A and B are shown apart, each in its own frame.
Chain A
Amino acid sequence: MESFLSYEFLRRALLMGVLGGSVCGAMGVFVVLWRMSLVGMCISHAAFAGALIGLWLGFPPLAGGLAAGLGAASLSGPLAERPGFSLDTAMGVIFSVVMSLAMLALGLLPGARIEGLSLIWGSLLTVTTLDLALMGAAACALFLFIFCFFKEIQAIIGHSQAALASGVPVRQIRRACLALLGLVVACALKAIGGLLIFSLIVTPAAAALQITYSLRLMFILSAAFGAVSAACGLWFSFHFALPAGAAIVLFSALILIACMIVSPKRKMPGAC
């Protein structure tokens, strides 16, 4: 561990991983409990495509990712609320389109495409101070949002229609949450990678859901699982020369399996 932390770039990578993992983990609680995996997947991959297109056009990838992530979030919110609209089908089509755009932008990139490829697999070891500062700002925004609107989030999770009927601003909270998802993904994209980030959003939350009936604890556990996955994945990646993003996501999957084994909910009917 001492040799691991003796390098400046590794300390920065660890901090970025822990920050990104905890933010993605906390974000996953919304995605899992509001059952918007498909919407979340589209937003995260739109940010990925935006970052690659930004890179191709000569903009900073973060700017492209942020614009595309927030754009996809602002589109999918109203789409999800339209009565009778087949969101599943629309998200399936949008997902294919944004992935095609991402691959197209990657194909059009001149030269060795190292920066482009690092957006796919993630590159924790090249994290800069600016990346860290932006991730820190995204983390503050998300945790402040959860702290300020916890009771509204709880009401929406319980029964969104009943919450709306009792005067809770359900649409505004949902849309803010989708915008935060776009922001978080854009900020964590460089470190975690476009293909793996969504699994780091969903897996820690799915693990936390296995072992608690408290929403407050679920947010804390999910963020902790994300952070632990990032730290352990990075450590394994350093010692065994593995791709960091893949190691992080596989570690979060191990935590999920462990939680499923010890889950008090596993014998309940309908549980999975």
Chain B
Amino acid sequence: MSLAALEEVSVAFGARRILDKVTLSVDTGDFWTLIGPNGAGKSTLLGLFNGLTRAGSGKATYKGVEVTPKTAPLARREIGHVFQAADIDPRMPLSVFESVLSGTYGGLGLFKRPGEKEKNLARNALEAVGLSGLAKRPVGHLSGGERQRVALARALAQEPEFLLLDEPTASLDRQAQREILDSVSALQRQFRLTVFMVTHDLNAVFSLARQVAMLKEGRLIWAGPAQEAADAELLGTLYNVPVEIAECRGRRAVFF
């Protein structure tokens, strides 16, 4: 069953067309990755599902309802969104626990204080990403990888059905990348989440995702099962560089 879908969606900022008639359907329980060169429109596409990006023409739907400025707030309560790691002022007056708890505030609504239910959600989310021990630490004191896990926990505290991940491993070292991707994979299985992840890490694509979409210059040039996406010619066309695929112990790796 389709949880979220894009139907002939185009987006333009001024005269510049960012997305061009993109059609895509995400089923419940799917794990999608979206790949493509810089400036292809990947983050713009991701924002269509929760209304952070407004469709110029065509429509984005969530649970069969068109995502509009009026319906987006309701959709956002069920859709978690993890952004790229950003620098945080080390003096920021916010603890890790408070940061994760803030994920519940949208669903809680205005004029209501977080109660035991919300605090338990935040504690469980922190435990799920392995950061329970850092709950009281100022969020600005964490490493890049830990901050991304806090961002993941904040999205989980929302109890989302659909999780959007915008390059969650960008600018992290190899170990932190592996930890984030392992967390995402485990959480997807544990909470039966539907996941849509933008990434540049092609090796993560083939080890994690079931479905792959390829975006180039705002056009969806290919979408299908991850195993079929590991095609040197297809990836070479996507990135405009020669690509080779190697297999090692049953895993596929991409070489540029």
Contact = CB atoms under 8 A, between A and B. Distances in A.
A217 B95 CA distance: 13
A89 interface: no
B81 interface: yes
Contact of B151 (A162, A169, A214, A218): A162
B90 A270 contact: yes
B33 interface: no
B77 interface: yes
Contacts of B29: none
Given A212-B93, A215-B93, A271-B91, A158 B113 contact: no
A162 to B, nearest CB: 6
A161 B154 CA distance: 12
Interface residues of A, number: 34
A254 interface: no
A210 interface: yes
Contacts of B199: none
B99 interface: yes
A268 to B, nearest CB: 5
Contacts of A214: 93
Contacts of A84: 13
Contacts of B108: 151
B110 A169 contact: yes
Interface string A139-181: 0000000001101101101110111111111000000000000
Interface residues of B, number: 39
A159 B157 CA distance: 15
Interface in B146-162: 151, 154-155, 158
A155 B151 contact: no
Contacts of B37: none
A97 interface: no
Given A162-B83, A162-B154, A151 B105 contact: yes
A64 to B, nearest CB: 33
Contacts of A164: 52, 76
A133 to B, nearest CB: 27
Nearest to A161: B83
Interface in A115-153: 148-149, 151-152
Interface in B135-184: 138-139, 151, 154-155, 158, 164
B30 interface: no
B102 A154 contact: yes
B94 A167 contact: no
Interface in A197-230: 209-210, 212-215, 217-218
Interface of A: 33, 83-84, 148-149, 151-152, 154-155, 157-159, 161-169, 209-210, 212-215, 217-218, 265, 268-271
Given A168-B102, A209-B91, 18 more contacts: A151-B108, A152-B105, A154-B102, A155-B105, A157-B93, A158-B102, A159-B151, A162-B154, A165-B164, A166-B77, A166-B155, A167-B73, A167-B105, A169-B110, A210-B91, A213-B92, A269-B90, A270-B90
20 contacts: A33-B93, A151-B105, A151-B108, A151-B114, A154-B98, A155-B102, A157-B93, A157-B94, A161-B81, A162-B151, A163-B105, A165-B164, A166-B77, A166-B106, A169-B110, A213-B92, A215-B94, A218-B93, A265-B91, A270-B90
